[in-house]
Structure 1
Amino acid sequence: MRSVITRALLIAAGLVTVVSLAVAGFLLFTQAGAVAAAADQRDAAVVAAVLAVSSDADDVRGTIARTSAGAQGRLSVVLADGTRLGAGGGAPVVSVDGAVVSVVPGAVPFPVGAVLSVLGVSVVALGAAVWLGHRPFTPVLRALRVLASSAGRRVRLRGPAELEALAASINEAAEQTSSLLAKEREMIADVSHRLRTPLAALRLDADAVGPGPVADRIRSAVSTLGHDVDRIIQELQPSEGSAASTCDVASVVETRMAFWSAHASNQGRMLEVDVGEPAWVPLAPDALGAVVDALLENVFRHTPPAAPVGVSVVRHAGWVTLVVEDGGSGVADPSSALHRGSSGGGSTGLGLDIARAAAEATGGTIHLERGRLGGARVRLRFGEANSHHSPASPRAWRLWRP
């Protein structure tokens, strides 16, 4: 902001300086011309005074030689008898007893010294104008610095009325945001607590079903859902000083695929899983498990039962890549697929949003492409834990080839 003000002051003061120099130069040049004309008049008057008392050619010639205009060859005299004395043939200036004194105007010298003096004064005035021009903006700049450094806390500043009103608006917006966030947390906590009652009933019903693979899957799903509800409630509670969690992507994927493999087997899907070597990322196991479940739930919900599914994990150059692809028809609207709540196809878009948030939390990216199986491929790049890697940019982008 200070540089913008400086440039504005320099432009304004510079224009004033240029105009001042032009006017001063014109006036000085005009004055120099007037001084030169007056000097020629004085030289002509001196010669005319000699002619008034003597018409001797030698006396007049000597007088002409002693004048500046005569020495420069610009002054001449024509005596009454027609004799021309001196050089030049300018316009008549004065006539005495039939003798005519003429002067040729000389070149007017440009006043370089005076103009340089005016230029020096103008430069000093320009610097003073810029320095003094900054003073009225000092409260504005101070208030803007306070605004810029008040992120995450209440803004308190004294300055122009407009900036004080802006600070009040920012404080009001921050308070409304905090209130909305608090209400949202309360709502999520309330809904989560209310889910515990039907979950308890489902758990009892699942236990009453008896043994068998179907009953085991129901019990596993109910247990997972109950665990997720408990985790949501715990995360809503403020926690201080907790250490950052890490997990092995390969291990988490293997654990979650135990559930999804059974589901794929029931539908007759071909499922390919390749997790490779251990790969640690700075995420909690539950958070990464939620990502895997969200992506695979999208596949099982939006592709035909016979469509193949592939899941792989690759570790390379400080990045851990999780790939989930399918043999379905692909994403109907790739341009909006990574926007929360607008994925299309009857979906809420939360699955991809959960995956995107987890990847970005590690400094990684999410990519939506066409996979080798013919359908959609979601490729998540997680920053490896305790590893240096170049920043990934952009954070989220879409690539879809027909």
Structure 2
Amino acid sequence: MRSVVTRALLIAAGLVTVVFLATAGFLLYSQASSSARAADQRDAAVVAGVLAVSSDADVVRGTIARTTAGAQGRLSVVLANGTRLGAGGGSPAVSVGGATVSVVPATVPFPYGAVFVVLGVAVVTLGLAVWLGHRPFTPVIEALRALASSTGRRVRLRGPRELEALAESIDAASERTSQLLAKEREMIADVSHRLRTPLAALRLDADAVGSGPVADRIRSAVGTLGHDVDRIIQALQPVEGESTSTCDVASVVEARMAFWSAHAADQGRVCEIDVGEPCWVPLSPDALGAVVDALLENVFRHTPTAAPVGVSVVRHAGWVTLVVEDGGTGVADPSSALHRGSSGGGSTGLGLDIARAAAEATGGTIHLERGRLGGARVRLRFSEADSHHEPASPRAWRLWHGHP
């Protein structure tokens, strides 16, 4: 802010200085020209006074020589008999008894010395103006600094009334946002608690189904849903001082694919799984499991039942890459597929956003491409736990070659 004020003051004072210098130069030159004309008129009047009492050529010639204009060769006299005395041939200035006195105007030099003096005074005045101009802005700058450093706390400042009003508006907006967030958390907690009742009924119904692969999968799905509801409720009450957890991507993917591979077998899908060696990322197992579930749910929801699906995990150079690809028709609008809430298939549109948020939380990226199976390939790069490389940029890449 101080630099902006300084530039504004320099521009304003500079313009005033330029106008001042131009005006001063014009006035000084005009004054010098007026003084030269007045001196010429005095010289002509002296010669005219002599002509009034005598027309003797020698007397007139001596008078001309004693004047400044005559000594410079700019004053001449034409007597009544036509005799010209002196040099120069300017316009007639005075006529006396048939004689004419003429003066050639003098060349007036530009007063550079005086202009340089004025310029020096103007430069000093310019610096003084900038220094004094900062003083009225000091309360504004201090108030803006207080406003900029008030992130996360109530804004309290003293300054111009407009900035105080702005601070009050920011406080009101912050308080309103906090209230909305609190209401949102209460609503989510209320909905989650209400889901526990139908979940309990589903568990009873699942137990009544009996035994068999289908019943086991139903019970597993109900158990997963109940676990997710509990996790949502716990997330609404974070534990202060809780350390950042890590998880093994390979083990989490294997655990989640135990469910999804069975689901793929029921549909007749080919399911390829390649998790490789253990690799740790700074995410909780539940968070990474939610990513895997979101991506696989997209595949099973938006691709034909016979379309193959592949899941792989690769560790390389401080990055852990999770790839989920399918043999479907691909993404119709990859430019907006990563926008939160955007979906072309009638779903909530949060699956890819959940994956993107998890990758970016570790400093990684998400890539949307065409895969080797012919459909979409979502490639998530997670920063490996305890790695010290810089975060990748850009975080969200949307790459798509060809059209489905």
- For the superposition of Structure 1 and Structure 2, which TM-score range results when normalised by the shorter chain? over 0.9
CA displacement at 1:56 relative to structure 2: 4.7
User: Partner amino acid for 1:26?
Assistant: F
Query: What's the counterpart of residue 223 of structure 1?
Result: 223
After superposition, the C-alpha distances for 1:203-236 in whole angstroms (9 at most, x for unaligned) are: 3443444433223222322222222222222221
Q: Residue 317 of structure 1 contacts residue 389 of structure 1 at CA under 8 Å; is this kept in 2?
A: no
Aligned twin of 2:179: 179
Q: Which residue of 2 aligns with 1:291?
A: 291
Contact kept, 8 Å, 1:339 with 1:353, in 2: the verdict is yes
Moved more, 38-47 or 163-172: 38-47
- 1:269 is matched with 269
Matched residue SS, 1:339: coil
Matched-pair contact (CA < 8 Å) for 1:359–1:366 = yes
Answer yes or no: is the 8 Å Cα contact 1:332–1:345 preserved in 2. Answer: no
Tell me the amino acid that sits aligned with residue 160 of structure 2: P
The separation in 2 between residues aligned to 1:198 and 1:95, in whole angstroms, is 125
Partner of 1:37: 37
Deviation of the 1:389 alpha carbon: 2.7
Partner residue in 1 for 2:326? 326
**Paired letter, 2:253:** V
1:200 Cα deviation (Å)? 3.2
1:101 alignment partner in structure 2: 101
Superposition deviation, residue 290 in structure 1: 0.8
Query: What secondary structure is seen at the aligned counterpart in 2 of 1:276?
Result: coil
Preserved CA contact (<8 Å) 1:319 1:389: no
Q: How far apart are the structure 1 equivalents of 2:216 and 2:316?
A: 37
Instruction: Find the residue that maps to 2:277 and give its secondary structure.
Output: coil
Corresponding residue pairs, total? 402
Match of 1:115 in 2: 115
1:333 and 1:343 in contact (8 A); partners too: no
Query: SS in structure 1 opposite 2:159?
Result: coil
Distance in structure 2 (CA, Å) of the matches to 1:277 and 1:202? 37
Mean CA deviation greater in 125-134 or 279-288: 125-134
**Correspondences of 1:245-394 after superposition (within 5 Å):** 245-394=245-394
Shift of 1:191: 2.2
Q: How far did residue 338 of structure 1 move?
A: 1.7
Shift of 1:13: 2.8
Question: 1:52: how far off?
Answer: 5.1
Q: Give 1:370 deviation, angstroms.
A: 1.9
Residue 398 of structure 2 is matched in structure 1 by 398
Match of 1:83 in 2: 83
Does the CA contact (< 8 Å) of 1:43 and 1:69 recur in 2?
A: yes
Deviates more, 1:91-100 or 1:169-178: 91-100
Give CA-to-partner distance per residue, 1:168-213, whole Å, 9 cap, x none: 2211111111111111112222222233333333334434444332
In the aligned structure 2, how far is the partner of 1:83 from the partner of 1:332? 108
| Deviation larger for 290-299 or 315-324 | 315-324
The question of whether the paired residues in 2 share the 8 Å contact of 1:47 and 1:64 is answered with yes
Q: Quote how far apart the aligned CAs of 1:368 are.
A: 1.8
Shift of 1:101: 2.6
- Does residue 154 (structure 1) correspond to residue 154 (structure 2)? The answer is yes
AA paired with 2:323? V
TM-fit CA distance, 1:51: 4.4
The one-letter amino acid of 2:397's match is W
Report Cα offsets for 1:277-301 as digits up to 9, x if no partner. 2222110111001100111111112
Question: Per-residue CA shift, 1:222-275, capped at 9, x if unaligned?
Answer: 222222222222221132221111112122111211111111112111111112
- Letter of the structure 2 residue corresponding to residue 136 of structure 1: P
Alignment deviations for residues 100-137 of structure 1 (CA, whole Å, 9 cap, x no partner):
33211111111112222222223333333333333333
* Local SS of the residue matching 1:3: helix
Q: CA deviation at 1:336?
A: 2.7
**Which segment drifts farther, 281-290 or 108-117?**
108-117
Tell me the SS of whatever aligns to 2:231. helix
Structure 1 residue 80 displacement after superposition: 4.3
Which letter maps to 2:44? Answer: A
Give me the identity figure in percent: 86
- CA deviations on 1:70-125 (whole Å, 9 max, x unpaired) are 22211122344433222111223334454433211111111112222222223333
C-alpha displacement at 1:307, in angstroms? 0.6
Question: What 5-or-longer segments of structure 2 have no aligned partner?
Answer: none
CA shift at 1:366, angstroms? 1.6
Deviation, 1:362, is 0.9
Distance in 2 (alpha carbons) for counterparts of 1:184 and 1:120: 67
Inter-partner Cα distance in structure 1 for 2:94 and 2:194:
119
AA matched with 1:122: A
Residue type matched to 2:292 in 1? V
Moved more, 322-331 or 234-243: 234-243
Q: CA deviation at 1:62?
A: 3.6
Give the letter for the 2:124 counterpart: V
Q: Secondary structure at the match of 2:387?
A: coil
Question: What SS does the corresponding residue of 2:335 show, helix, strand or coil?
Answer: helix
Structure 1 runs not aligned, ≥5 long: none
Aligned partner of residue 224 in structure 1, secondary structure: helix
Q: Report the AA paired with residue 166 of structure 2.
A: L
**Comparing 61-70 with 202-211, which one deviates more in the overlay?**
202-211
Letter in 1 for 2:87: A
Deviates more, 1:279-288 or 1:192-201: 192-201
Counterpart position of 2:14:
14
SS in structure 1 opposite 2:107? Answer: coil
User: 1:170 maps to which residue?
Assistant: 170
Secondary structure of residue in 2 paired with 1:336: coil
What's the CA shift string for 1:314-370, capped at 9, x where partnerless? Answer: 222322211111111222333332222221211111211211111111112222222
